[in-house]
Structure 1
Amino acid sequence: MLEKKTLDFEKAVLIGIINQEQDEEKSKEYLDELEFLAYTAGGEVKARFTQKIDTPNPKTFIGSGKMEEIREFVNENDIGTVIFDDELTPAQQKNIEKLLKAKILDRTSLILDIFAQRAQTSYARTQVELAQYQYLLPRLAGLWTHLERQRGGIGMRGPGETEIETDRRIVRDRISLLKKKLEKIDKQMETQRGNRGALVRVALIGYTNVGKSTLMNVISKSDVFAENKLFATLDTTVRKVVIGNLPFLLSDTVGFIRKLPTQLVESFKSTLDEVREADLLLHVVDISHPNFEEHIASVNQILEDIKSLEKPTIMVFNKIDNYEHETIDEDDLVTEKTTKHFTLEEWKQTWMNRAGEDVLFISALNKENLDEFRKKVYEEVRKIHITRFPYNNFLYPEYEEGL
């Protein structure tokens, strides 16, 4: 199912909604992220459309007036792809395709497409293919263009239905086969994790595109692929790292994202197992992103879902070299100061201060404050190590500069 192809930029438009749960500002944030997803997949966004609507239209998701506005823009500008920020039902997708005569994607299918492009190893490709088939199964009927002959046909419905059912069975069989294949690989990976011995395990976690792979490269002196795009790496990379004379295992995991498709959470179970089995989490945050607090909340929600929220965690605020804030003129008595006006020093005095010593501010790219980072990681790994090996803790003294 996965195909490697050279992507030309496709002209696309984005569609989001504004409702009680998602105000105008929140909708803009989601569409900003959706545009980055589209760019990562090979798309060029030509326009955005939003509509205030409490309940999505069961037939077309958005209202008929807005749909007509989008249809005109699509026709006049030769748009080939229309991307919705929320997941569409199979019926909605089919109806919208008929109206717009364009390729219709939602956030889930877009993320699945990016994962398909990024999957490098056989294991990652199997995980993505399983997720794709699970997403495809309820949408099969809408894909059968040759079933258009059913429209007026007495006596023509049976063969069509039979053909769909046949293909549903093929897809179900494929899903079953892929699940068995993943179970086998998962057992092999579980054995590999067991064979790593009693070394302390540290996992890099965080939202996608926060700089985990860059930090991994700096710490482990390895060459993990890193790029300023979403989901640059899918496969978990594990390296043996030594700080001072203290060895431990460091893993770089797939980035999280808001509205992460449930199919991917299930398919990437083994990747999440690296997080579950870690002794220490390094939660990397892109502090230069205006919505980094939401990113933290999204990651924490997934950690809670996989019962890993209570693990020892160091918050690593990365990209301090990119951090910018809005300034307010001292004479401005109208503008209310909000978090977007905070300097880094002011951020450090907020809830981050309550986290105590488990908060670090670094730039992995420019290697700023990495000595402080190494010291903190050394100290935390050492605490775990000496409880595991109480008789040889003399081998690992307190951290000294230059280790």
Structure 2
Amino acid sequence: MSKDQKSSSVILVMRISPDSNPVSVSRKMDEFVELAKALDYKVSDTVVQERHPDRKYNVGSGKAREVAILARDLSASQVIFYDPLSTSQIYNLSKLCNEAGATCRVIDRFQLILDIFAQRATTHRSKLQVELARLRYELPSAKMLISLSKKEERAGWGGLGDYEDSYEQDVKKRISRIETELSKADLEEDARRLYRHKRGFFMLSLAGYTNAGKSTLFNALVDENTESKDMFFTTLIPKTRALEFGKRKVLLTDTVGFIEDLPHFLVDAFRSTLEGIYFSDIILLVVDFSEPAGHIRDKLVTCHETLFEKGTSTIVTVLNKSELVSSKERNQKMDELFHLIPNPVFISAKEKTGLDDLLLEIEKNLPPLYVKTVSLPNSKVGASALSWFYENGIVDEILYGKYMTFDFCATEDVMAKTDDILRKAEKI
């Protein structure tokens, strides 16, 4: 085994409750493996134990020692647990691995997700969001973290008390500074969204479980080459592009994917990213329709819990990868899942089939446009006012004479402002 292979070799450990559903366990393990692959890790082995949680090791002491020996024999660089580990559990497990002769890092699934986000974060804002999530994750065990890391350096019992308190306060201060900076950035983003709506832009957002094909669909709709690898969290930073939709001005945003049991500190840190979904006129909820019906159901429930938390947008369910499903299987899945699939559209983002049907469904669900016949004085003042109408709605063919007359199409909010524009044009 090469040095590079050694450094990327990992062991995945999952403890399951005695009453766990085997299908659910299998799905979670598959997702666990995909998360590891998202960082190009080689999964050398997976370990599953059915039992109630152990306070010291999470798994039983015998299984913990077995994992430590396995880590040594497989030269694993990391042992990753599905369940969240306390600081003392990480310390105890790391100690077992060291005693067995294994040189490895012990982390949990939450830390793995943080590592993925940290690798994918490229903007200042996303890096701050990742750091905020990490600090919130570490804060509850800040004192224990220092206590255990400095255990051998203690002069006496409790000798690091002042240092532990200082570290905890430093973490809290850093969290406060990041929250303040992100709040300012959120206000700027809210202002941009409001500006876009006032200018007559319709907002569409792609949402859905990670790896469902959102970025592939984004590329197909806007004719772009956004990264769309077959791995989790390829889209961490939302991307917004204009979408050609007749004369309507539409903005489409690709967002970070949902995932089962997403840590609350990550959801909180990336709350502003989700806000973009909540303020959309339409949410395109992308689903991998080739998966088993039970998997689809569980993932739709996860998505709906997030989307319906505070959002009121219309949802169009985009059933992607439909080319992989037979007609019989399609009907069976629809019978079983119809209550979770509002406004369904069958597509293949990869093959670019079904996109016309999707565009028709989007058009059907966009906010209605209102039409008004407008007359502006044929002057410099009128020309200036005319530019406002072009920027905020749809201007049909203009008839020129003493006045410039045309039909103006816009949303109700924009249409309400036209009287003020017309009065100003007539007065000057």
**TM-score, scaled relative to structure 2:** 0.79
* SS of equivalent to 1:163: helix
* SS of equivalent to 2:38: helix
Alpha carbons of 1:10 and 1:235: their partners in 2 closer, same or farther (altered >3 Å)?
same
Q: Is the aligned partner of 1:57 residue 2:54?
A: yes
* SS of equivalent to 2:368: helix
Alpha carbons of 1:24 and 1:378: their partners in 2 closer, same or farther (altered >3 Å)?
same
- Name the residue aligned to 1:10: 8
* SS of equivalent to 1:31: helix
- Name the residue aligned to 1:257: 259
- Matched to 2:13, the amino acid is I
Selected match of 2:362 from 377, 380, 384 = 377
Shift of 1:7: 10
User: d(CA) in 1 for partners of 2:281 and 2:31?
Assistant: 31
* SS of equivalent to 1:87: coil
CA contact (8 A) 1:9 1:44 kept: no
* SS of equivalent to 2:249: strand
- Name the residue aligned to 1:229: 231
Q: Deviations over 1:275-328 (max 9, x none)?
A: 111121111001123322211111111123x322x5321110111234489xxx
Q: Is the aligned partner of 1:180 residue 2:165?
A: no
User: Any gaps of 5 or more consecutive residues in structure 1?
Assistant: 1-5, 326-341, 397-403
- Matched to 2:363, the amino acid is Y
Aligned residues: 364
Shift of 1:259: 0.8
Shift of 1:256: 0.5
- Name the residue aligned to 1:296: 300
Alpha carbons of 1:167 and 1:194: their partners in 2 closer, same or farther (altered >3 Å)?
same
User: d(CA) in 1 for partners of 2:326 and 2:44?
Assistant: 27
CA contact (8 A) 2:300 2:340 kept: no
Q: Deviations over 1:304-353 (max 9, x none)?
A: 3x322x5321110111234489xxxxxxxxxxxxxxxx622433444438
User: d(CA) in 2 for partners of 1:163 and 1:355?
Assistant: 54
Q: Which has the larger radius of gyration?
A: 2
More displaced 10-residue stretch of structure 1: 278-287 or 6-15: 6-15
Shift of 1:246: 2.4
Q: Is the aligned partner of 1:211 residue 2:208?
A: no
- Name the residue aligned to 2:163: 163
- Name the residue aligned to 1:194: 194
- Name the residue aligned to 1:33: 31
- Name the residue aligned to 2:282: 280
User: d(CA) in 1 for partners of 2:316 and 2:139?
Assistant: 41
Shift of 1:33: 0.5
User: d(CA) in 1 for partners of 2:220 and 2:31?
Assistant: 27
- Name the residue aligned to 1:399: none
- Name the residue aligned to 1:107: 109
Alpha carbons of 1:124 and 1:324: their partners in 2 closer, same or farther (altered >3 Å)?
farther
CA contact (8 A) 1:207 1:257 kept: yes
Residue correspondence of structure 1 range 263-342 to structure 2 within 5 A = 263-290=265-292, 291-304=295-308, 306-308=309-311, 310-323=312-325
* SS of equivalent to 1:278: coil
User: d(CA) in 1 for partners of 2:340 and 2:278?
Assistant: 25
User: d(CA) in 2 for partners of 1:109 and 1:265?
Assistant: 14
Q: Deviations over 1:87-107 (max 9, x none)?
A: 112222221111123311111
Higher RCO structure, 1 or 2 (CA under 8 Å, sep 6+): 1
CA contact (8 A) 1:319 1:363 kept: yes
Q: Percent identity?
A: 29
4+ runs of 1 displaced by more than 6 Å? Answer: 392-396
**TM-score, scaled relative to structure 1:** 0.83
User: d(CA) in 2 for partners of 1:170 and 1:8?
Assistant: 36
Alpha carbons of 1:13 and 1:216: their partners in 2 closer, same or farther (altered >3 Å)?
same
Q: Deviations over 1:243-297 (max 9, x none)?
A: 2222222111111100101111111111111111112111100112332221111
- Matched to 2:202, the amino acid is V
* SS of equivalent to 1:259: coil
- Name the residue aligned to 1:333: none
User: d(CA) in 2 for partners of 1:146 and 1:96?
Assistant: 14
Alpha carbons of 1:390 and 1:99: their partners in 2 closer, same or farther (altered >3 Å)?
farther
User: d(CA) in 2 for partners of 1:161 and 1:287?
Assistant: 55
User: d(CA) in 2 for partners of 1:87 and 1:187?
Assistant: 33
CA contact (8 A) 2:49 2:59 kept: yes
- Matched to 1:344, the amino acid is R
